[in-house]
């Protein structure tokens, strides 16, 4: 019985019905309530203009589970991340990890955002061992977005140098 | 003589229990333990069995650890095991039932799922033949057939029936079949980000997923479903070619792509069921 409930709990759609009918199993085997919160009330879902010079886009995939995650950051002229958006297609833990990641990068500088670790994300969301790779995906998405932003800035600088010559 | 032989048995057995052995040599340990019976001539087997302390009806090869420490005896050849019930040799492998006393046998460790389902070890699969084999096996192995038999037989039929289920479901779908074939060669798709992934491919996946999210009619969902099926069919052919050529790395990359599209196919099914 607990095994069957645990199995169906991994599907986000079934999760919502199970939550109402088997509350005593929640703490034992289902998604943590923080994950459920991010799943039901995701923060910062959406897109930013990827062609803008101030926007970095990170697109990552996890082949073992087939999850795809896009995370975008908008950086102001002082190097501070002022906005972040994500779109994730995958399990509840992946969605929650990327939602949390967009919350955490806002207000940080580009260098500070690099210090966000997957272990911090996993700890905050109380991810079980089998879902730790979702937090790794989120960390990689942040880094990919920052790298894309850096690349754009460097390209800009090179253009400016060429233009002034 | 009995005490000398049991000394021989005990010491190598302790070597087996060393954690390093268990961790790194699990595969070869099992194999060597099985292979020992091939390396002994027939009369030794008889002597070995006579010297064995009675351990009930089990036919576990605890006594055959003698050669475990010598690497020369490692092999992957056929081996002869005996029925746990009547002690007669089992003629085939995998042996589901004893030819002599008809007792159901426990599944052997590390038997390939391809062997169990009597299928050739290749990616292209005749799924009708697979299903027929599955039904044929379950007709005789299902635990319902053993409700009047001994507890031991009930347990063996349960584990064999579960293994046959697993073999059938693994080999039925191309994705799980391909991943299992890689696993047999010691290759797994690691968890975590694929740093070598093609950004355009990921972008394409994103777009398909976003389009699927926004469909308003079953026709639109079906269109995406057809497109995905097409992609999966192409990938199946490419994986078959790669595996036939032994190009495991490219097979692995293609199977990763297949995983993404298989997920999209699942989501299409969910969307269509929402429309109903």
User: Angle at Cα A43 formed by Cα A37 and Cα A44, nearest 5°?
Assistant: 160
Query: Would you call A13 an interface residue with chain B, using a CB distance cutoff of 8 Å?
Result: yes
- Is there a contact between B259 and A63 if contact means CB atoms under 8 Å apart? yes
The pLDDT, as a whole number, for residue B62 is 40
Whether residue B94 has a cis bond before it, omega within 30° of 0: yes
**Interface-testing mutation among B182, B190, B193, B274, with chain A (most A C-beta atoms within 10 A):** B193
Name the strand (E) or helix (H) holding B76: none
pLDDT higher at A45 or B29: A45
Nearest to B260 among A59, A68, A140 (CB): A68
pLDDT class of B80 with cuts at 50, 70, 90: low
Give the span between the Cα atoms of A103 and B137, in whole angstroms: 54
The pLDDT, as a whole number, for residue B23 is 39
Residue A38 exposed, middle or buried by CB count within 10 Å (0-12, 13-18, 19+): buried
A-chain residues near B257 (CB < 8 A): 63
The pLDDT, as a whole number, for residue A29 is 57
Give the span between the Cα atoms of B106 and B84, in whole angstroms: 9
Distance of CA B35 to the CA centre of its chain: 20
Q: What is the pLDDT of residues A19-34, one digit of tens each?
A: 444 444 444 456 788 8
pLDDT class of B74 with cuts at 50, 70, 90: low
Q: What is the pLDDT of residues B210-240, one digit of tens each?
A: 999 999 999 999 999 999 999 999 999 999 9
Model pTM greater than 0.90? Answer: no
Nearest to B197 among A13, A61, A133 (CB): A61
Name the strand (E) or helix (H) holding B185: none
Interface of B with A in 223-262 (CB under 8 A): 256-257, 259-260, 262
Q: How many CB atoms are closer than 10 A to CB B213?
A: 11
Whether the per-residue pLDDT at A8 is higher than 60: the answer is no
Q: What is the pLDDT of residues B159-216, one digit of tens each?
A: 999 999 999 999 999 999 999 999 999 988 888 787 667 889 999 999 999 999 999 9
| % of chain B with per-residue pLDDT over 70 | 70
| % of chain A with per-residue pLDDT over 90 | 64
Query: Would you call A10 an interface residue with chain B, using a CB distance cutoff of 8 Å?
Result: no
Span of A87-91, B98-102, B143-147, B165-169 with lowest mean pLDDT? B98-102
The pLDDT, as a whole number, for residue B76 is 52
Contact A53, A152 (CB under 8 A): yes
Bridge partner list, A57 = A72
Arithmetic mean of pLDDT, A33-51: 90
Q: At what angle do helices B174-184 and B218-245 cross, to 10 degrees?
A: 30
The pLDDT, as a whole number, for residue A126 is 93
Contact A144, A59 (CB under 8 A): yes
- Is there a contact between B203 and A89 if contact means CB atoms under 8 Å apart? no
B244 to each of A27, B19, B124, B177, how far by Cα in Å?
Answer: 47, 38, 10, 14
Interface predicted TM-score of the whole assembly (ipTM), two decimals = 0.77
- Is there a contact between B202 and A62 if contact means CB atoms under 8 Å apart? no
Give the span between the Cα atoms of B177 and B173, in whole angstroms: 6
Contact B265, B242 (CB under 8 A): no
pLDDT higher at A68 or A28: A68
- Is there a contact between B260 and A64 if contact means CB atoms under 8 Å apart? no
Task: Give backbone dihedrals phi and psi of B97, rounded to 5 degrees, phi first.
Answer: -130, 150
Token pair of B56 as six digits: 């009930």
A103 to each of A35, B14, B90, B258, how far by Cα in Å?
Answer: 14, 55, 64, 32
Chain B residue whose CA is closest to A67 = B260
Span of A18-22, B95-99, B115-119 with lowest mean pLDDT? A18-22
Contact B65, B33 (CB under 8 A): yes
The pLDDT, as a whole number, for residue B99 is 87
Local structure of B180: helix, strand or coil: helix
Give the span between the Cα atoms of B23 and B31, in whole angstroms: 15
Token pair of B141 as six digits: 């192995």
Please, what is the end-to-end C-alpha distance for chain B in angstroms? 76
Whether the per-residue pLDDT at B254 is higher than 50: the answer is yes
Farthest-apart Cα atoms in chain B, separation? 82
Arithmetic mean of pLDDT, B111-118: 91
Local structure of B97: helix, strand or coil: strand
Nearest to B194 among A13, A62, A89 (CB): A62
Span of A30-44, A66-80, B206-220, B235-249 with lowest mean pLDDT? A30-44
- Is there a contact between B193 and A87 if contact means CB atoms under 8 Å apart? no
Distance of CA A67 to the CA centre of its chain: 12
Q: How far is A146 from chain B (nearest CA, A)?
A: 15
Q: What is the pLDDT of residues A109-157, one digit of tens each?
A: 999 999 999 999 999 999 999 999 999 999 999 999 999 999 999 988 8
Contacts of B74 (CB under 8 A, 6+ apart): B28, B31, B32, B35
Query: Would you call A60 an interface residue with chain B, using a CB distance cutoff of 8 Å?
Result: yes
Distance of CA B237 to the CA centre of its chain: 23
Token pair of A21 as six digits: 């009918």
Alpha-carbon dihedral B142, B143, B145, B148, rounded to 10 degrees: 170
Token pair of A133 as six digits: 């790779």
Arithmetic mean of pLDDT, A106-111: 94
How would you list the strands of the sheet with A81-89, edge to edge? A55-62, A67-75, A81-89
Beta-carbon contacts below 8 Å between A and B? 62
Distance of CA A100 to the CA centre of its chain: 6
Name the strand (E) or helix (H) holding A164: helix A132-164
pLDDT class of A42 with cuts at 50, 70, 90: confident
């Amino acid at each position: 019985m607990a095994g069957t409930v645990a199995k169906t709990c991994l599907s986000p759609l079934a999760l919502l019905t199970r939550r109402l009918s088997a509350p005593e199993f929640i703490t034992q085997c289902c998604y943590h309530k923080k994950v459920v919160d991010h799943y039901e009330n995701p923060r910062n879902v959406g897109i930013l203009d990827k062609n803008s010079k101030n926007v970095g886009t990170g697109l990552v995939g996890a082949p073992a589970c087939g999850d795809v995650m896009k995370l975008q950051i908008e950086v102001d002229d002082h190097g501070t991340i002022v906005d972040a958006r994500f779109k994730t297609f995958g399990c509840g833990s992946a969605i929650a990890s990327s939602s949390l990641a967009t919350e955490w990068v806002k207000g940080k500088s580009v260098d500070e955002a690099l210090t966000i670790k997957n272990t911090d994300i996993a700890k905050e969301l109380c991810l079980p061992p089998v879902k730790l790779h979702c937090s790794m995906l989120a960390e990689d998405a942040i880094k990919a977005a920052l790298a894309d932003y850096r690349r754009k800035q460097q390209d800009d600088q090179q253009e400016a140098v060429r233009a002034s010559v | 003589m009995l005490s000398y032989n049991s000394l021989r048995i005990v010491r190598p057995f302790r070597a087996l229990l060393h954690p390093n052995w268990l961790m790194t040599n699990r595969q070869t340990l099992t194999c060597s333990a099985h292979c020992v019976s091939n390396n002994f001539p027939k009369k030794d087997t008889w002597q070995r069995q006579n010297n064995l302390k009675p351990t009930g009806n089990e036919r576990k090869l605890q006594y055959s650890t003698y050669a475990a420490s010598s690497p020369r005896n490692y092999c992957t050849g056929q081996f002869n095991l005996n029925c746990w019930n009547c002690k007669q040799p089992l003629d085939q492998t995998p042996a589901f039932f004893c030819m002599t006393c008809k007792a159901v046998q426990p599944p052997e460790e590390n038997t390939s799922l391809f062997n169990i389902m009597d299928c050739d070890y290749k990616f292209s699969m005749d799924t009708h033949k697979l299903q027929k084999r599955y039904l044929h096996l379950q007709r005789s192995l299902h635990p319902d057939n053993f409700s009047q038999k001994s507890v031991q037989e009930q347990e063996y039929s349960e584990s064999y029936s579960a293994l046959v289920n697993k073999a059938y479901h693994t080999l039925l779908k191309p994705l799980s079949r391909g991943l299992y074939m890689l696993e047999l060669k010691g290759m797994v798709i690691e968890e975590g980000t694929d740093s070598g992934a093609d950004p355009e491919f990921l972008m394409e996946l994103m777009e398909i997923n976003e389009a699927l999210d926004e469909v308003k009619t079953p026709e639109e969902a079906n269109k995406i479903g057809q497109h995905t099926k097409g992609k999966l069919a192409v990938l199946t052919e490419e994986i078959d070619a790669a595996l036939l050529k032994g190009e495991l790395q490219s097979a692995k990359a293609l199977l990763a792509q297949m995983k993404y599209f298989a997920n999209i196919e699942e989501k299409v099914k969910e969307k269509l069921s929402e429309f109903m």
